[in-house]
């Protein structure tokens, strides 16, 4: 633990960020499964999450400026409080509303949650460069641990969301997790965080855009990489799996909800575990930035190829091969392994390429690109599934992964000073 200079700050930030991401996973699964059973179309389901990602993209761009101007602690507290308010209001949704009214109501509140998420994310990721004193090995290790543990907890949220929906219903589940987050937030504010920048009043809004070619190339690669994941993950594969499992009865729907929650939860948990231990897999102690960049480029070739093969397998479904869903699940776990290591290297490189003087600005800008990819991926997930089923989702994801690889080829292995 010696390379982590401010353990207290890391723990407090991680607790707040982890609690937020747990509620994020819970809400995503509750919304997806609840409104699928209410006969929302795939495109309508995608629209539920589209506003979340769109506001996330905008907030990410400016959360770095907010953090730099007003201080990182305030962005963390603000994100947690906004999420509590959004969940509390969402729980009041009237089940008698029309689909159109429900959709508008949910999209507005998901927009609030999107803003909240990225205020907390920018604080959490930016703080690592400061609390590790920018030591390269420590930076990679703790960036991987924070990102991996976040996804581990978020995966537990996916599974918990499916369970809560089945046991307690829509409104009660949301009230419960809003209360949980409120308790954590009070604790975080009472304990407080130290050693983080308190803000600079002279920071100008236009400074959020990076002039660093590596930051821009990495941001573009991140955008297409996360878009490729969300094309199949957000709507396509969960609804495909639901339809494969459910027989149309109430009991069948309940069983399908739990198994879809189990898949998405386990996928995210395993993905998070791989991220956490990725420094051990790639032996970060012996790998300079030059080698890590090349490693990222090599990994980028595998993701589109596997997605394309999985998309081709789905054309055999008309032959009633029972092994196809299981094969798809296995293939997507392989994708998860490659994706997790790539994502961990990404999370390190954005810190390595950013100057300490504008760390929150570059991180906010970078995660704005991440959210932009998720906007595209979320929309294409619903549209692709509605037009061409899981096959089109996987082929579209493969194409986006190719674009991510092309963008990564532009990265030059020169860290910031």
> Around Cβ 190, how many Cβ atoms within 10 Å?
7
Spatial separation of the C-alpha atoms in residues 191 and 233, rounded to whole Å: 37
Q: How far apart are CA 11 and CA 303, in angstroms?
A: 34
Of the listed ranges 111-120, 249-258, 347-356, the least confidently predicted one is 347-356
The better pLDDT of the pair 384, 212 is held by 384
Could you give the percent of the chain with pLDDT greater than 70?
Answer: 79
CA–CA dist 77, 284 (Å, integer): 33
Q: Give residue 173's pLDDT.
A: 92
CB 21 within 8 A of CB 153: yes
Nearest-angstrom CA–CA distance, 56 and 165:
25
What CA–CA distance (Å, rounded) separates 133 from 196?
12
Residue 234 CA, chain-centre distance (Å), reads 11
Between these two residues, 275 and 242, which has the higher pLDDT value?
A: 242
Note the helical H segments in 192-249.
Answer: 213-230, 237-245
Q: Is the pLDDT of residue 126 over 90?
A: no
Give residue-wise pLDDT tens across range 302-339: 999 999 999 999 888 666 667 888 899 999 999 999 99
What does the pLDDT look like over 19-49, one tens digit per residue?
888 998 999 889 988 888 888 888 888 888 8
Report the candidate in 227, 366, 217 with the shortest Cα–Cα distance to residue 296: 217
Residue 3 has pLDDT above 90, yes or no: no
Domains defined along the chain, listed by start: 7-192+207-408 (1.20.1250.20)
């Amino acid at each position: 633990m010696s390379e982590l200079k401010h353990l207290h700050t890391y723990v407090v930030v991680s607790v707040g960020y982890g609690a937020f991401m747990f509620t994020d996973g819970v809400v995503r699964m509750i919304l997806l499964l609840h409104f699928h059973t209410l006969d929302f179309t795939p495109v309508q389901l995608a629209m539920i999450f589209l506003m979340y990602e769109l506001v996330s993209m905008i907030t990410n761009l400016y959360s770095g400026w907010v953090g730099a101007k007003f201080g990182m602690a305030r962005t963390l507290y603000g994100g947690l409080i906004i999420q509590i308010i959004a969940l509390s209001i969402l729980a009041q949704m009237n089940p008698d509303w029309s689909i159109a009214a429900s959709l508008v109501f949910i999209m507005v509140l998901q927009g609030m949650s999107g803003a909240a998420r990225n205020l907390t994310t920018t604080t959490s990721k930016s703080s690592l460069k400061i609390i590790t004193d920018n030591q390269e090995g420590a930076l990679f290790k703790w960036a991987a641990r924070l990102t991996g543990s976040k996804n581990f907890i978020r995966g537990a949220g996916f599974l918990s969301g499916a369970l809560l929906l089945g046991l307690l219903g829509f409104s009660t589940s949301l009230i419960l997790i809003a209360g949980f987050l409120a308790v954590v937030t009070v604790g975080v504010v009472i304990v407080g965080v130290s050693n983080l920048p308190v803000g600079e009043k002279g920071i100008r809004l236009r400074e959020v855009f990076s002039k660093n070619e590596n930051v821009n190339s990495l941001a573009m690669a991140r955008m297409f990489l996360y878009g490729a994941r969300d094309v199949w993950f957000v709507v396509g594969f969960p609804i495909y799996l639901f339809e494969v499992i459910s027989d149309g009865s109430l009991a069948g729907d309940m069983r399908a909800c739990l198994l879809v929650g189990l898949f998405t939860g386990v996928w995210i948990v395993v993905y998070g575990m791989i991220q956490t231990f990725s420094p051990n897999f790639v032996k970060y102690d012996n790998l300079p930035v030059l080698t890590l960049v090349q490693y990222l480029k090599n990994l980028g070739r595998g993701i589109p190829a596997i997605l394309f093969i999985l998309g081709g397998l789905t054309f055999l479904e008309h032959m009633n091969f029972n092994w196809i869903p299981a094969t798809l699940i296995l293939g997507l776990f392989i994708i998860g392994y490659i994706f997790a290591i790539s994502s961990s290297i990404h999370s390190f490189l954005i810190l390595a390429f950013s100057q300490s003087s504008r760390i929150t600005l570059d991180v906010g800008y970078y995660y704005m690109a991440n959210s932009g990819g998720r906007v595209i991926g979320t929309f294409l997930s619903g549209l692709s599934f509605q037009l061409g089923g899981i096959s089109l989702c996987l082929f579209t994801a493969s194409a986006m992964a190719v674009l991510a690889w092309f963008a990564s080829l532009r990265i030059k292995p020169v860290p910031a000073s």
